[in-house]
Amino acid sequence: MTAVDLDGVTVTYGTGQHLMRAVDNVNLRVPADGVLGLVGESGSGKSTLARALVGLVDIDEGRILHDGQDLDDLPARARRQRRRRVQMVFQDPFGSLNPRMTVGDTLLEAIRTTRMLPRSMRSGEVVELLDLVSLDARYARLLPRELSGGQRQRVAIARALAAKPDVLVADEITSALDASVQGAILNLIRDLRERLRISVLLISHNLSVVRYVSDTIAVMYLGRVVETATTDELLTAPQHPYTRALLDAVPRLGLDALPTSAVLDEDPADPHDPPLGCHFHPRCPMGPVLHPDRVVCRTEDPSREAGTRPHQAACHFPGVHTLA
Amino acid sequence: MATTKDGLVSALRTPTGAISTLMVAALIVLAVVAPYIWADEAARVDIPGLLEGSSSDHPLGTDNLGRDLFARLLVATRLSLTLAVLAVAVGACVGVPLGALPTVLGRRGGRAIASFIDFSLAFPSILLVIFLGVVLGVGAHAAVLAIGLSAAPSFARLTQTLAASVASSDYVAAAKVLGVPRWRILARHVLPNVAEPIILNVTLAVGFALLAMSGLSFIGLGVQAPSYDWGRLLNEALGRIYVHPETALGPAAAVVIAGLAFNSLGEALAAAASTRPAAVPRRLLREQKTPHPASVSSAVGADAAPGPALVVEDLTVSFPSRFGVITPVRGISFALSKGELLGVVGESASGKSLTALALAQLVPYPGRVSATRLEIDGHDLRTMPTTARKRLLGTSLAMVFQDPGTSLNPALRVGRQIAEVGEVHGGLGRRAAMRQAVERLRGVRMSSPARRARQYPHELSGGMRQRAMIAMGLMAEPKVVVADEPTSALDVTVQQQILQLLRKVRDDTGASAILISHDIAVVAQFCDRVLVMYAGRIVEDVEAGALHTGPAHPYTRALLASIPDMSTDRTQPLATIAGRPPDASAIPDGCAFAPRCDFATDRCREDRPDLAAVDSTWQRVACWYPRTGPVAAQNTPELVGQ
């Protein structure tokens, strides 16, 4: 089992005036044999963080540690081996499978590149992988266009599992699927996690989905993790005003009225030009807009001291709003 | 995605495609057989009959050794085509790997190759051919090389562009994460997916190479005697063009015809590749006109209290396809009261978005819309003259689409676009329209509206663009706002603000709104009443408040049970619905949900239930065995299938 740690990871895009810190000094741990949920708005850096974790984008600062071992300290070959222990499933099942390769070929390729398996055992392994994601062996002969969205997503999960990963990064894997199919994929992830004892980083903008699958939840806002806590703690006693706003905004059946918004009626800031200090302060109902004496929100980045606060909340006034 | 074979077949069906294919085929046959049949005649020296003009023996005359020019023309087909194909082969063999290199090399190497391609593209290719022809020396080999090398940069650029888009796809990312070696990613993932357009381009390039080769031979740099191609023949005949023009016309015509054939074949293939779903047989379009049997509950809307804002009866949308006519919207009927907030939920292919488009008369060609009644604010859209209908739609109906990024014109300032509506439909002057636009932007609670009005769409965030779209819709004081997934591209906190804004619009102006969404929780929370759609039909019409207390259709109930919410039991698996929604081309005869339904009987599979009132309430459901009571707590085994 592998625990993966992000230690002060920063990823930037562009240069000079167009420099954007998509992921800004993030500290996060995907625990061994656990599910970490990551929620946040689009543009908050969730997907970039996922891509950095699997090595698809380079990190500019910070380290990625596998069981405390810095990947950069390893020789290239060992680093590649390590990297393969972290596999990723993408959002769009229509774009994540090569349209000209059969399901079987896709899985065979994954097996051949990641494992020393004698040729004679490979096709049996394909069947086993399909079985793992509840697909019949005959699917191996089909092309992606012959599959539904849910089936494709199962194939994409099987491809990731072919590498026998310790960590599965699932980036919005249900948001392109129909509601009636989404539940089955979430069940599959839970089931795989229990059967294979893998850890999962589940990324979603949908808090209900994240809540259902995760043991721990981290909330991202404009490139920074603003709060991390166990699922129960985060849901019952959010420390960061943005987390509170997210919780309030989740649509619920049986509530007649739309809840009044807990954020100020401002649009999210431009990720290319985030506000100084706390990125959330222009929308924050606890911040300097409504409480002029809280100037510190405009000047000091609260994520520096976050490690010392409950829920590692990146807020100068954590928790004070939960009573309101 | 269609295969190359489909593309070829549909390319052959067009007149251009058919003719050019035949011509190319004829040329190839000629190239193969001509030397066997006419080689002797083409080489037979006939000194007494030299330099003759056209005659019955020699249709194109003879050359300076008395050899028959027509035979020589036919025999030259092989060499001309072979050289052209060879030249293209050289171009493709150099260009395609060069263009593919940037995807294999790292960032720096890739950039170097890309700059080299840019650099070589900057030379005009015909000059490059002549330059290379002179440098490499006179003769067929040199000419082939010259033309090939000058075609290489455009192949390289094409490959580079195509490969870059494939290389950024998720399946290539997945292969990288697995650690698949780069060359293998290139061979298995990138090249097969860019092959089709490159092959099309090869066909086009053969036409170009043929012209270029003939040109080089004509100016004496290409094929040298005693060999001859069309260009060489043209060169030899040029001296006699005033005496015997037919001797020069023959090879000239051959070059033009062959060049045209390859070019138009390439064009036809490219056209077929870019418009895949086309080529719908006319017959299917005509079949559409047969009216659909009315299957409407007649009570709809007739007695809706304060006069309906919108009445729809038996609305059907159908499209011709390769599988016959498909009907994604199958006779739906509903009425919308003034000021009502109506939600429409359904999965993909349920027909919910097409319903919205049909209301706004925006169903794309070749789709067909029919209805027995379609009224906005008491005006029947079906009987109106086109101009009056457009005007009514422009003023009474506002559409808000999912992606605010594409529904605003990126080249126009936001205020200008909004003001335009006031000018066209409100008859306002430019100034007054702009003032009203700023007013509307303030109405949708846009911060500093006057400044925003002067900005371009890309300067606004997604939420602000959606506000701008709503402001635009409000310019004409609409009776009905149709919002199709207006918040799906936005974040939850912004979603809430936009929905609150739509509510405020209703409260302020009395407009009704239809909210179309895949998210049943959003719809339930925002709307007064909800229509649940499945496979093109309304299966349930229920008060939003009753959604969680007593939905009657098994589909509605299964859907509600399968979606996790903030109170779902995390220790239990989620309820799921076995199977998947039916494809619009194969909707079962009976109840469309029957194959996935736990309560279905033979009756459900054979006989389709109409939408009918449940008990004495106005809740309507299309089910023979409607359920009652609240949906069982999440993920209890009531509906666990699969």
Which of B496, B493, B492, B501 has the alpha carbon at shortest distance from B468? B501
Nearest to A92 among B170, B558, B574 (CB): B170
User: Cβ distance B597 to B555 under 8 Å?
Assistant: yes
pLDDT at B311: 93
Residue of A212, A247, A263, A273 for testing the chain B interface, max B β-carbons within 10 Å? A212
B411-434: average pLDDT: 87
Chain B's closest residue to A111, CA to CA, is: B178
B297, pLDDT greater than 50: no
Q: Which residues contact A63 (CB under 8 A, 6 or more apart)?
A: A7, A8, A9, A70, A71, A72
Please indicate whether, in this complex, the C-beta atoms of B521 and A253 are within 8 angstroms of each other. Answer: yes
Residues of A in Cβ contact (< 8 Å) with B491: 41-42, 205, 268
Query: B101-144 pLDDT, tens per residue?
Result: 988 887 888 899 999 999 988 888 778 888 887 888 888 888 89
Q: Beta strand B529-534 with B537-543: parallel, antiparallel or unpaired?
A: antiparallel
User: Cβ distance A242 to A77 under 8 Å?
Assistant: no
Other Cβ atoms less than 10 A from the Cβ of A256: the count is: 9
pLDDT tens over chain A, length 324 residues: 788 999 999 999 888 777 888 999 999 999 988 999 999 887 788 999 999 999 999 999 999 999 888 988 889 888 888 889 999 999 888 899 999 999 999 999 999 999 888 888 999 999 999 999 999 999 999 999 888 888 999 999 999 999 999 999 999 998 888 888 888 999 999 999 999 999 999 999 889 999 999 999 999 998 999 999 999 999 999 999 999 888 888 887 766 566 666 677 666 677 778 888 899 988 888 888 888 888 899 988 888 777 788 888 899 988 755 433
Residues of B in Cβ contact (< 8 Å) with A191: 573
Please indicate whether, in this complex, the C-beta atoms of B503 and A150 are within 8 angstroms of each other. Answer: no
- For B248-406, strand residue ranges (E) read 308-321, 324-337, 341-345, 368-370, 373-376, 379-380, 397-400
Distance CA B517, CA A216 (A): 30
> Nearest CA of chain A to the CA of B249: how many Å?
48
User: Cβ distance B95 to B154 under 8 Å?
Assistant: yes
Query: B212-253 pLDDT, tens per residue?
Result: 999 889 988 888 888 899 999 998 888 888 888 888 888 999
Q: Which of A193-197, B195-199, B638-642 has the lowest mean pLDDT?
A: B638-642
Confidence of residue B286 (pLDDT cuts 50, 70, 90): very low
B502, pLDDT greater than 60: yes
pLDDT at B616: 66
Confidence of residue B622 (pLDDT cuts 50, 70, 90): very high
Query: B5-16 pLDDT, tens per residue?
Result: 555 666 667 888
pLDDT at B92: 94
- B488 DSSP 8-state letter: T
Distance CA B516, CA B152 (A): 51
User: Cβ distance B327 to B363 under 8 Å?
Assistant: no
Which of A153, A54, A31 has the alpha carbon at shortest distance from A96? A153
CA atoms lying within 13 Å on the CB side of residue B234: 23
Unique residue bearing structure tokens 């974790």: A53
Q: Which amino acid does the sequence have at B141?
A: H
Please indicate whether, in this complex, the C-beta atoms of A268 and B178 are within 8 angstroms of each other. Answer: no
**Token pair in block for residue A155:** 């194939």
Please indicate whether, in this complex, the C-beta atoms of A54 and B177 are within 8 angstroms of each other. Answer: yes
Distance CA A62, CA A64 (A): 7
Q: Which of A263-277, B161-175, B569-583, B624-638 has the lowest mean pLDDT?
A: B624-638
User: Cβ distance B346 to B329 under 8 Å?
Assistant: no
pLDDT at A12: 92
Q: Which amino acid does the sequence have at A111?
A: I
Residues of B in Cβ contact (< 8 Å) with A251: 519, 521-522, 524-526
Distance CA A210, CA A171 (A): 11
**Token pair in block for residue B140:** 């067929």
Burial zone of B450 (CB within 10 Å; 0-12 exposed, 13-18 middle, 19+ buried): middle
User: CA of B171: how far to CAs of A88, A178, A277, B101, B186, in Å?
Assistant: 11, 21, 39, 19, 12
Chain B's closest residue to A42, CA to CA, is: B491
Other Cβ atoms less than 10 A from the Cβ of B198: the count is: 19
Nearest to A249 among B495, B547, B570 (CB): B495
Which of helix, strand or coil describes residue A93?
coil
Unique residue bearing structure tokens 């109906």: B397
B559, pLDDT greater than 50: yes
Complex confidence, ipTM = 0.84
Distance CA A23, CA A303 (A): 13
Other Cβ atoms less than 10 A from the Cβ of B497: the count is: 25
Q: Beta strand A20-30 with A4-13: parallel, antiparallel or unpaired?
A: antiparallel
